[in-house]
Amino acid sequence: MGKLRRFFGKWQSLSNSGKLIFVKATACLLLVKAGLSLLPFATFRKLFHRLTSTKTVEEKSKAEIDQVVWAVDTAANLLPIELLCLPRALATKFLLRKIPALTLEIGFEINPAKSFEAHAWVERNGHIIIGDWPDAISYKRLWVWE
């Protein structure tokens, strides 16, 4: 209940454009989750590539990017379904698709004592914008989804 109360406090302070970003993030997460659940991965990947391909380039400030990341993470935490790193990274990549040098990275944890653990994150010019991890964990990049 505390999570919802904090969210509604934040919601009231958002501008109309901030509220719209949150609604878009929520819809995007739900569509990504449905696509990943219902479609073969190869089909989903092709469809996602078509939807994110754009010739238009748009620069966004760090604050605008941070607002999208906040909206994706907050919506993912509030929705009653499990939305781990891949749907969050895909939703962020889609919402920020016009920003150049934005890559979706997929890797695995480097820890022989643990079973295979994958992780997805989004980078811009080598800096993680969503999907960061603690310093005690190391991931090896396996695939870059541009």
Question: How do residues 27-62 score in pLDDT, each as one tens digit?
Answer: 999 999 999 999 999 999 999 999 998 888 998 999
- The total number of structural domains in the chain stands at 1
| Structural domain containing residue 101 | 2-145
Give 62-120 pLDDT, tens digit per residue: 999 999 999 999 999 999 999 999 999 999 999 999 998 899 999 988 777 777 888 99
**Helix residue ranges, H only, 1-146:** 2-13, 16-38, 41-52, 62-78, 85-95
Computed on alpha carbons and rounded to an integer, the radius of gyration of the chain in Å comes to 16
Question: Is 146 a residue whose pLDDT tops 70?
Answer: no
Is 90 exceeded by the pLDDT of residue 134?
Answer: no
pLDDT of residue 1: 57
Which residues touch 95 (CB under 8 Å, ≥6 apart)?
21, 24, 25, 28, 68, 71, 72
pLDDT(4) > 80: no
Helices 62-78 and 16-38 sit at what angle, rounded to 10 degrees? 60
Q: Mean pLDDT across the stretch 2-29?
A: 83
How is the beta sheet containing 127-130 ordered, strand by strand? 127-130, 118-124, 102-109, 139-145
pLDDT over 80 (residue 9): no
Who wins on pLDDT, 96 or 5?
A: 96
- In this prediction, residue 37 carries a pLDDT of 97
